[in-house]
Each structure stands twice: as C-alpha cells, then as structure tokens.
Chains A and B, each alone.
Chain A
Amino acid sequence: MTSYTLILVLMLLFSVLAVISRNMLMAAISLAVASVALTLVLFALSAPWAAVFELSVCAGLITVLFVSAVSMIRKEELFMQEGRMRFAMLPLWLAAFGAGLWLWGGRLGISLLAIPSFREPSGVGVLLWGPRIYDLMGQACIILAGVLVIRTFFVGRRD
C-alpha cells in the first residue's frame, strides 16, 4: 500500500512539473514520466490491458508528437513570458485544495453506487469483440476522422 501511494504521489509530482516547467521539452518528458507512473498504478490495480495501451500510446506516441511539435517552434516562443507568479503559486493552491479535500473527505462516507449486475465475460478481448463491439467501431471512426482532419490541415496547394 505504501509503495502504491508513493507511485501515485510520483505521478502527481511529475504532472505538477509538466505544468510549471518553463522548458516545454522538459514538460513533455515530465508528462511521459507521469504516464509511466500511471501505467504502474494500472498494473497494480490488475488492469494490464489498459496499462499496456497507456504505456505504448500515452508515454510513447504522445511524447513523440509533443517533442516533434516543440522542435518545430522557435525557442523564443517556447520561453514566452506568461504570468510566472501564477505558476509559482500552483503548488500552494494544490496543497491547500488537497488538505481541504482530505479534511472534508474524512467526514464523508463513500458508498459505492449500486450498479445493475450483469454477468461480465472473463477477458477483455471477449468483452471488446462481443458486447462492446460498437466501441471498436467508434474508435475506428474517431481515428479516421483524426486522419482526415490532419490531412486537411497539411494539404498541398494545387494550382
């Protein structure tokens, strides 16, 4: 339990670093490390499929996309001045919010929602290709839409 909490704290710390870091490359890499920490959390919660997707897509692909975008933008733009005081105040606000939540949540009894019981098939693949096949269709449509949008952005001029 202690190491589990430690991983969660690590994820939060690297997320804060991704927000307050001035260097955008550092921010992208911090976000990748936070994704790796989330992967460990998902493995600990016995959700290996979601963990594998998180590791390969969020920690891998999205970091590559961010780094390639950062490399296209001039350095002066990346280090733009934007109310640094607000970002410096962020850890304080976060700590205040967390302390308030901890104090308030201790008095709040959490009860699980009553979810209608259905027999869940064992195995993600059976579920994904069986009852949730429409999710897969939706994912395919979203990916197709994304590809079309990117193609529309970077289409060459034909005169």
Chain B
Amino acid sequence: MAELLKLNWFFVLLLTFLGLYCLLVSRNLLRLLIGVEILSKACILALISSGVATGKINTAQTLAITMIVVEVVVVAVGLGLIIKAYGVTGSIDIWKLDKLKDRS
C-alpha cells in the first residue's frame, strides 16, 4: 500500500510542477486555463490516492465529485472571461490586458 501511495504522490507532484510551470511561463490565456486544469487533475488524484491509503475511499470520492463540479464552473467562468476580454482587446495575450495602466 505504501508503494502505491508513493507512486501516486510522485505523479501528483510532477503534475503540480507541470501546472505551476505552465501558469508561470505562458502568456496565452487559454493555456493558463489548461494549467489550472492540470493542477486540479493532480488534486483529484491526490484525494483518491489518500482515500485508498487510509481506507476511506467513499469519503474521498464524494470530495472528488465536489472538486470536479468546482472545476467545471471555474473553467466555464474562465472561458467566459477570456471570450469577453478577447472581444474588448482583440487578443488573448495577457500582456495586452494593460489598458487600465494607460489611464492617468
């Protein structure tokens, strides 16, 4: 059991690194949302593997279901924001979202 937990958490940490790297490096708004998605996948895997390790798989599943619902709402609202920002600025580059800066 400890081997399985160790393997799962190894991949959880790798996925977390990947998601954080994507959030730090990317300028594309859609790609930033993909980074958030990867982070939440790591979160779901961590929840379920912890549930397996402690023998409380049903509680872990209910928490994972809640997590999935939150994730889909975050993605829907984020994509709505991106489409709105694209309509205003004509670009999905995060560096072009500095219109407020020019106002003085």
Q: A19-B22, A35-B41, A150-B77 are in contact. Are A135 and B92 (CB under 8 A)?
A: no
Q: Is A115 within 8 A of B10, CB to CB? A: no
Q: How far does the Cβ of A24 sit from chain B's closest Cβ, in whole Å?
A: 5
Per-position 1/0 for A123-145, Cβ under 8 A of B: 11001100010010011001101
* B69 on interface, CB distance cutoff 8 Å: yes
For A12, give its contact among B11, B22, B37 (CB under 8 Å): B11
Q: Is A62 within 8 A of B72, CB to CB? A: yes
Count the A residues whose beta carbon is within 8 Å of the partner chain — how many?
73
A residues at B contact (CB < 8 Å): 4-5, 8, 11-12, 15-16, 18-19, 24, 27-28, 31, 34-35, 38, 41-42, 45-47, 49-50, 53-54, 57-58, 61-62, 65-66, 69-70, 72-73, 77-78, 80, 82-83, 86-87, 90, 93-94, 97-98, 101-102, 105, 110, 112-113, 115, 120-124, 127-128, 132, 135, 138-139, 142-143, 145-146, 149-150, 153-154
